[in-house]
Chain A
Amino acid sequence: EAAVTQSPRSKVAVTGGKVTLSCHQTNNHDYMYWYRQDTGHGLRLIHYSYVADSTEKGDIPDGYKASRPSQENFSLILELASLSQTAVYFCASSDAAGGFAEQFFGPGTRLTVL
């Protein structure tokens, strides 16, 4: 069974609307991450979390909030969606902060903002 799942897999949102992307992991990992993928930019870190009820800003946090209500769940929230936030979003988990640690990715959510 997939260890990192994301919902929805695809979403169309209107400019100015609120969007919530959800991520669930069964790896029992402490660390979770949200990335966005854009052609020509690879994957860029938006927010991450290393414990429930705590989140940290990544490299491109503007326009995004994150929520980690439990070890298994990590949400990405767009309070006022904008056209520039059209992208594919990936959630990932790992059992360590970095260094040699492998990150396990979900299948992604394709978000289109109109």
Chain B
Amino acid sequence: GDSVTQTEGQVALSEEDFLTIHCNYSASGYPTLFWYVQYPGEGPQLLFRASRDKEKGSSRGFEATYDKGTTSFHLRKASVQESDSAVYYCALSDASSSFSKLVFGQGTSLSVVP
């Protein structure tokens, strides 16, 4: 079945550091790729999504590019802030089946210190 792998379980950075969270996927068909963010005490919320090869999604300074060749959708931000501390989930949805549902990666907990 479809799957999503996030390499980093936890990331600790200082403010203004560069962030990369790796996301690779395995899917039949042509999935839509998502990044969700979960702040403490809240449910996940959509950060952004992309549905075509080479499409870049972006929001709040975060960005990721859909790469069908390497089956990747890595999350990047040039300069993180303490307020970015949260859990980040990469997910996919395969629209080729009769019911499309989200498949989530394991999540990456980001901690940013001042």
Instruction: Give A residues with C-beta under 8 Å from B.
Output: 4, 33, 40-45, 48, 50, 56, 58, 90, 92, 97-108
Q: Which listed residue (A4, A40, A42, A102) contacts B89, Cβ 8 A? A: A42
Nearest A residue to B102 via CB reads A103
- Size of the B side of the interface (Cβ < 8 Å), in residues, is 23
Instruction: Provide the main secondary structure of the chain B interface.
Output: loop
Q: Is the CB of A100 within 8 A of B32?
A: yes
Question: Looking at the complex, which of B13-21, B40-48, B58-66, B68-76 is the stretch in contact with chain A?
Answer: B40-48
Nearest B residue to A99 via CB reads B95
Q: Is the CB of A108 within 8 A of B99?
A: no
Q: Is the CB of A48 within 8 A of B104?
A: no
User: In the bound complex, how far is the Cα of B99 from the Cα of A28, in angstroms?
Assistant: 19
Residues of A within 8 A of B104 (CB): 42-44
Nearest A residue to B46 via CB reads A102
- In whole Å, how far is B61's beta carbon from the nearest beta carbon of chain A? 20
Residues of B within 8 A of A56 (CB): 99
